[in-house]
Amino acid sequence: MTAESPAGPLGGHLDDDDFPAYTMGRAADMLGTTQGFLRAIGEARLITPLRSAGGHRRYSRYQLRIAARARELVDQGTPIEAACRIVILEDQLEEAQRINAEYRHAAGSANPAAAA
């Protein structure tokens, strides 16, 4: 069976950054933090883990990257609530910059004489 096979244990989600593949314990181990930290950033609404059929929290790779950034800020002395807000604002800024770049690209493609 290959990694691309949808019949595999991950159902073809091996490369999906949003697939909730990690348990809370595994996520905490990967981040070098505690499960309490993951609960705290969940309560601060930085990330919302999906739940398994049994009700257990499951985290995606994208959520782990967000949690790792929050942990960096907390390790530097930022209170957890402030760290979560900073990460949310950073994420919103990145998205706005991506959208602006798309608009600039579309405007340049629509009017090549103005871009020159």
What integer pLDDT is reported at residue 12 of this predicted model? 62
pLDDT means over runs of 10, the chain (116 residues): 47 74 94 96 93 91 95 97 96 96 90 60
What integer pLDDT is reported at residue 116 of this predicted model? 54
What integer pLDDT is reported at residue 4 of this predicted model? 45
CA–CA gap between residue 101 and residue 71 (Å, rounded): 29
What integer pLDDT is reported at residue 5 of this predicted model? 44
What integer pLDDT is reported at residue 21 of this predicted model? 86
What integer pLDDT is reported at residue 2 of this predicted model? 39
Residues in contact with 59: Cβ distance below 8 Å, sequence separation at least 6, in sequence order: 20, 21, 22, 23, 24, 27, 38, 47, 49, 67
What integer pLDDT is reported at residue 11 of this predicted model? 58
